[in-house]
Structure 1
Amino acid sequence: MNHLRWNPLLKTYTLIATNRTERPIFPDECPFCPGSGKIKETYDVLSLPNEFPVLSPKFNAPIQETESLFKSGSSNGQCEVILYSPDHFATLYDLENQHIEKLIKLWRDRCNEMSKDHSIRYIHIFENRGQEVGSSIHHPHGQIYGYPFIPLKLKTELDSCKEHFLQTNKNLILELNEQEERDQKRIITSNNSFLAYIPYFSEHPLGVFISSRRQKNFLADFTNEEITDLATILKDVTGALDAVYKKPLPYTMSIHQAPIHSKEYSDCKNYYSLHIEFSPVLKDASNVKFHGGSEMGAWANISSQLAEESAKVLRDAFRIFKKAER
């Protein structure tokens, strides 16, 4: 039975999703390809309800003792799958810019629709790419989760940004952008609306950020010009990542937006800004960087490469990608 369990040590919820054990494996067929009989025959980009959701309006909390430390909650929320293309072998950078713009607008529109559910507090857009990060279907796709709470990583980011704003009256994420642009050592590419860089404190080799130059809370805040620029830089960054080892790089991509329906962070337009984080999981061409005792046990992340070195590798790969694109 799917529900939430409160962790009083970390002050966050663990999501219990027993239905995930029922997910099928598709070794010889793809349910996301046109002609599979499971989806519409033609599409450019497409949203689908997740058939094995972690979160759903139908999930109720189990009965619990009121005096117990063991508290549970309902896994009320939404989970959707977003198909990037009907082409089973396409990557983001294979797609035309206008196609990626359609994808971004679909992300935006589904977030707007999810935000109508007042039980949802945070909407997370993400992509797991490759078996190394748990993707069970090769077809290009991502997901959107609407959580009934603000996940701990995002809450920590928000608290840090709010504290910085109260101390300095400045937006921490925009300040990071400005310092990275001044320094230039870790910048990969940029355009009028976005910067792509490996941050000074990167937890992952090749752990690139895409950050808005302007203060924006949500995808819905972007102009059409900014959506075009985001499509361009997404294409460039994902192309560069695959050019590093000349093969598809497994990663998790996460879009960090502001929370919704939150009294605690109702003022976050002053101090938070949308950015995209890539977390590649290879430490070299053939070895996965597994999280070990320090990362898993203490949340003290270890990166095996300086951000400056990683940025040079990725800039070189970016030039190779752009040259091949011509």
Structure 2
Amino acid sequence: MTEHVPDIGRPDEPAVSVLQAGVVRRRSRLADGRELFYFDDPDTTLPDHRAQDLRASGPRPPTATMRHDVLTGEWITFATARQNRAFMPPADQDPLAPQSATNPSEIPSRYDVAVFENKSPAFGPAAEAGAGAHAGDGDPLFRERPAAGRCEVVCFSPEHEGSFASLSPTRARTVIEAWADRTTALSQIPSVEQVFIFENRGAEIGVTLPHPHGQIYSYPFITPRTRSLMTALEREGPDLFERVIDAERRGPRVVLETEHWVSFVPYAARWPIELHLLPKRHVPDFALASAAERDDLAVAYLRILKAVDRLYGTPTPYIAAWHQAPVRKARDTVRLHLQLTSPRRSADKLKYLAGSEAAMNAWVADVSPEETARRLRAVID
């Protein structure tokens, strides 16, 4: 049976909206009912009309199931439909490129930036949690619940290869506007507790599509990492982020500082390359970042990413994780911030998570944070 998937947009919301920085958002749908949004650059050359998705539509996969680990308190999602997702297709079969006569891709029209519901999501398509957790197999130790929520794909460019670092400042600003718009919309889903924006870059990270894109996960719970952060804020004080930023700005690990943002290698960096980027004032998520902060970020973020690639002269694999405050908790204390991490510890060596890190979450670092910051400052433009 096909699940009912509610439209999270407002019924009175226009099909075309002008956002900040002159970005235009156009609402559409794919053949199977999934929502699709085009975000046009302010200087776009695209026509107003967008083609319809005329592919034959099959049923969407059922919503995944989450199981509760009673020993850790964590929820583990079992999204078995993802086993069959695309894996390194050739350029002429790129599922994130605009559709053509020979490529029945996910996006029916030419675009600048496009966002659509993931065909094989970890969370959703059902957006409501239903009756909540219940005992799987009748045993109270084995609780499970639907993985309600939503997962979206953010296509940075129609090009087959690249990453956020390959974008122009104008296009980067369009993507940031899309992040803010989708954070606002996804935060309105009743079952969603946290919205997470990220980009995986490089085959070493496990990327299965070379197309420049990122993802948005809307979790029906607050993630373990954020819960740990909230505990630290309760222990150290609600102004913890402000104090950390002030202390790092006086130290040797700052890589870049602009009018609204500061980037540094953290004092206790775990990875060979690890960079944090934070707004100077308290901002809980992209939706509440000002236009000036978004404009400044488009340039600052590109400078950071290009510096990371200059360390070794070739593209560096990374995970760019944008941590946002939960939707309904800790909004006054958890600050929006980027945590960019890479396992690359030299030109031809990677750090693998072995026994201590993988089993015990007890990290042993290979490179000092001060050395990483020094090297990044030397190559940032």
Query: Does 2:256 match 1:192?
Result: no
Structure number with higher relative contact order (C-alpha < 8 Å, ≥ 6 residues apart): 1
Runs of 4+ in 1 over 6 A off after TM superposition: 59-63
Q: TM-score, normalised on structure 1?
A: 0.90
Aligned equivalents of 2:166, 2:87: Cα separation in 1? 26
Aligned equivalents of 1:203, 1:122: Cα separation in 2? 24
List aligned pairs for 1:18-33, cutoff 5 A.
18-28=80-90, 29-33=93-97
Report if the CA contact (8 A) 2:135-2:141 is conserved. no
Kindly indicate which of the two structures has a greater share of residues assigned to strand: 2
User: What does the per-residue CA deviation read over 1:257-279, in whole Å, with 9 as the maximum and x for residues that have no partner?
Assistant: 10013xxx3xx233221100001
Q: TM-score, normalised on structure 2?
A: 0.78
Amino acid at match of 1:292: A
Query: Does 2:246 match 1:182?
Result: no
Report if the CA contact (8 A) 1:131-1:250 is conserved. yes
Range that drifts further, 281-290 or 119-128: 281-290
User: What does the per-residue CA deviation read over 1:44-68, in whole Å, with 9 as the maximum and x for residues that have no partner?
Assistant: 1110111111110439878625552
Shift of 1:40: 2.9
Select the residue among 71, 90, 98 that pairs with 2:162.
Answer: 90
Aligned to 1:100: 172
Shift of 1:234: 0.8
Report if the CA contact (8 A) 1:206-1:314 is conserved. no
Query: Does 2:202 match 1:130?
Result: yes
SS, match of residue 137 in structure 1: coil
List aligned pairs for 1:220-239, cutoff 5 A.
220-239=287-306
Shift of 1:226: 0.3
Report if the CA contact (8 A) 1:158-1:272 is conserved. yes
The sequence identity of aligned pairs, in percent, is 28
Q: Whose Rg is larger?
A: 2
Amino acid at match of 1:90: G
Select the residue among 148, 161, 184 that pairs with 2:220.
Answer: 148
Range that drifts further, 212-221 or 66-75: 66-75
Aligned equivalents of 1:27, 1:271: Cα separation in 2? 43
Shift of 1:18: 1.0
Report if the CA contact (8 A) 1:162-1:271 is conserved. no
Aligned to 1:214: 281
Amino acid at match of 1:189: L
- What count of residue pairs does the alignment treat as equivalent? 309
Aligned to 1:276: 338
Aligned equivalents of 2:206, 2:186: Cα separation in 1? 25
Aligned equivalents of 1:27, 1:68: Cα separation in 2? 44
Kindly indicate which of the two structures has a greater share of residues assigned to helix: 1
Aligned to 1:246: 313
Provide the alpha-carbon RMSD of the alignment.
1.7
Aligned equivalents of 2:134, 2:96: Cα separation in 1? 34
Aligned equivalents of 1:269, 1:53: Cα separation in 2? 27
User: What does the per-residue CA deviation read over 1:104-136, in whole Å, with 9 as the maximum and x for residues that have no partner?
Assistant: 010111111111111010111011111111110
